[in-house]
Amino acid sequence: MLAPARRPSGGPARRDFLLGLSAGGVYFALTLYWVVGVMSAFGGLPAFVSILVALLLASYLAIYPALFAVALGASLRRFGPAALWLAPWFWVATEWARSTVWGGVPWVLLGSSQAPVLPVVQFASVAGVYGLSALVALVSTAAAQLAVSRRQADRLAVAGVALVLVVVVAAGTFRVVGSRLTRTGPVLRAGLVQGGIEQEVKWDPARRDIILERHLNLSRQVIGRGAGLVIWPESSTPFFFDAEPQLAEPVRRLAAEAGTPFIIGTDEFEPGQNGAPARLYNTALLVGADGRSRATYRKMQLVPFGEFVPLKDLLFFVGPLVEAVSDFSAGVEPVVFDVDGQRLSVAICYESVFPALAQAFVERGSQLLLTITNDAWFGRSSAAYQHFNQGALRAVEQGRYVVRAANTGISGVVDPYGRVLARTPLFEQTVLAVDVRLLNGRTIYSQLGDVVVWVSLAAVAWVAVVTARTKR
């Protein structure tokens, strides 16, 4: 008598992985479609190689939804339909892993979709963007349970989720209507300079004087509107500010004449000593009201394929990109600037999507979160809007105003409740002068951090242990 055929080992898990990989691949390919244009236009890659790089990036990011599918599938087979309620925790765990491994790519996390939904986004002041991701996943889980389960317990749980959502929306609405934080703290008039410099000419030596003069003229405009702090975008000086004093002199002179401090985005060159190689940093520089350099912050979270090329040896086919990308070094300290007793911090470009960095700034006493960026790389794609919305979440999480100066837009100001007080169009030369408040209070999330992440990781560990014991 023949024994019944055994199902191939790992069959269901393999199927779950491929389904999750497919779903994730489609999501990231459509969300990050603009990578193709960036690689082709500024990375020097042929169109087909740019498409290949974008697909490789989407495939890598899709691994995390695939791991989510594997974990959830294993739980459903072990515990039955009730295990569907583990989905939000598994999802957050894989999002956190995506945001951490190899420096992390926390772009378009599920929770960031709620940035424009003011009543819901207030939940970020309690649980951060990962808490928002868990909330969105929980609502989706409830809808799935309603569709597949007839158990009374699951129906009651769905009703409980609906009640949670009502409470979150009601509490969020009450928080926005109250707006207590917008009535406390000293006022600072922030002046944002948007030079509108195309990426193709940004480092052209023949355009250097024109670019500098444009930023100086716009600075005079915003000072005339009463700005107490002038903020230039990322890498706004087409020279090394501290290393080329003759070119920096007009900026220092304007700051001293106006008695107004400047924050300048510039590249910083550090010569090697004792045989060590020279280093290049993407830097935010504080120029005091006397025109002197007061402090610098060096960007800590570098952009993959923008400021360094990971796995150069494996990605041999992106040679032109390696040559086009400057090999920056990462800073190591979340410096907070002191401007005559006002405590300010600066996130540079990509750093604005990292919640932990904003929290580190606030822990060190930052009263105002600044972002300087150059989104010219993105062209007129959805990337600039994605970037702006993700950065806006830091305002709600930390209970701070976020002030954003972008080379080609979107520049703007977001209050501690996620409301956009002002914003500029893309690819315009313009300025903004907006009153913001310097705040000292701490939100629940700012004090406790990513508790939702730790609960999610604990849930994953618990399921892994129970499943392993069952197999033994």
Over range 331-338, report the average pLDDT. Answer: 96
Residue 318 CA to residue 310 CA, distance in Å, equals 11
Same structural domain, 57 and 193: no
**Residue 268 forms beta bridges with which residues?**
281
pLDDT digits (tens, 9 = 90+) for 422-444: 999 999 999 999 999 999 999 99
Q: Which amino acid is at 234?
A: E
The residues carrying an active-site annotation are: 234, 299, 349
pLDDT digits (tens, 9 = 90+) for 346-373: 999 999 999 999 999 999 999 999 999 9
Same structural domain, 212 and 355: yes
Same structural domain, 420 and 299: yes
The CATH number of the domain where 427 resides is what? Answer: 3.60.110.10
Per-residue pLDDT at 148: 85
Same structural domain, 330 and 206: yes
Q: Is residue 311 part of a domain?
A: yes
Per-residue pLDDT at 464: 87
Per-residue pLDDT at 196: 95
User: Which of 79, 98, 133 marks a domain boundary?
Assistant: 79
Q: Is 392 within 8 Å of 425 (Cβ atoms)?
A: no
Residue 69 CA to residue 174 CA, distance in Å, equals 37
Radius of gyration of the chain (CA): 24
What is the span of the domain harbouring residue 21?
A: 10-79
Residue 369 CA to residue 233 CA, distance in Å, equals 14
Q: Is residue 322 part of a domain?
A: yes
Residue 116 CA to residue 407 CA, distance in Å, equals 23
Same structural domain, 74 and 204: no
pLDDT digits (tens, 9 = 90+) for 43-53: 778 888 889 98
pLDDT digits (tens, 9 = 90+) for 215-240: 999 999 999 999 999 999 999 999 99
Which segment of 63-67, 198-202, 206-210, 332-336 scores lowest on mean pLDDT? 198-202
Residue 302 CA to residue 355 CA, distance in Å, equals 15
Name the domain count of the chain. Answer: 2
User: Which of 36, 53, 79 marks a domain boundary?
Assistant: 79
Q: Is residue 49 part of a domain?
A: yes
Q: Is residue 286 part of a domain?
A: yes
Residue 306: pLDDT band by 50, 70, 90 thresholds?
confident
Q: Is residue 135 part of a domain?
A: no
Same structural domain, 204 and 75: no
Residue 13 CA to residue 458 CA, distance in Å, equals 21
Task: Determine the distance from the C-alpha atom of residue 347 to the mean position of all C-alpha atoms in its chain, rounded to a whole number.
Answer: 10
pLDDT digits (tens, 9 = 90+) for 94-141: 999 999 998 899 999 999 999 999 999 999 999 999 999 999 999 999
Same structural domain, 418 and 270: yes
User: Which of 79, 100, 121 marks a domain boundary?
Assistant: 79
